[in-house]
Each structure stands twice: as structure tokens, then as C-alpha cells.
Amino acid sequence: MDYFTVEIAGRAVASFRSENHEEATHFFEAEDFRDDLTVLESEGKPLWDRKAPLSLRKATTEEASEVEHAYEFDDDPERTIEDEFVVFLVPVADLTDEDEDIED
């Protein structure tokens, strides 16, 4: 497994592991993943505004360690090493959760 980091406008925001660079690129370019980046916010702003440049690179040792640490403490008994698992390197909140609270 290799570790990869997603940067938005040069800021590392998320890391994950993948079999290889080709699979990591496929995940990174997936519309579902990119949509997720628009509904998650950090410090009161969406992570991605669909305008800022996105990039994918090999994760640093520290970023890879964050992913490993998250796997160790994941409490989903059905998750396997093959599942996609993204670790955000910045605090995030889901904007769609806030919308649901407003409707209740």
C-alpha cells in the first residue's frame, strides 16, 4: 500500500492509502469524492469551492502515520483494508448535517 495526500490550493487536507498511484488517481478524480469536498467545511468555509486547484501527491511520513493511526482506531467492524478510507488532516464538518438539523 502507498499513501497519498490531497492538497487544495497547496494546503494538505486529506490522506488515504491505495494500492498504487493509478488507483489513487482514480479515487482522487472521482466525482463523488470531489462532491464530498464541497459539502465539507473547515474553519467555517467549504474545503473546496470547485475553483481552487486540487492536487494529489505521495503522502509524507507524518501524513501516512495519521492514516495508519485512524485505521487502528476505526470502530467499524465491517471495514476492510480494501475499503476507501480518507483521513482529513484539517478539522471538518459536514454542511449537509447542518441542513438536516435546520429542517427538523
pLDDT score at 104: 34
Full pLDDT tens readout for the chain, 104 residues: 899 999 999 999 999 999 999 999 999 999 999 999 999 999 889 999 999 999 999 999 999 999 988 877 666 667 655 666 799 999 999 867 654 443 33
Kindly report the pTM of this predicted structure. Answer: 0.82
pLDDT score at 72: 73
Q: In terms of DSSP bridges, do strands 11-18 and 2-8 run parallel, antiparallel, or are they unpaired?
A: antiparallel
Name the burial class of residue 37, with classes exposed (0-12), middle (13-18) and buried (19+) by CB atoms within 10 angstroms of its CB. Answer: buried
pLDDT score at 68: 86
Q: Where are the domains of the chain?
A: 2-93
Distances (CA, A) of 55 to 6, 22, 25, 78, 80: 6, 14, 10, 30, 26
Q: Please name the residue ranges forming H helices in the chain.
A: 21-29, 31-39, 61-72, 95-103
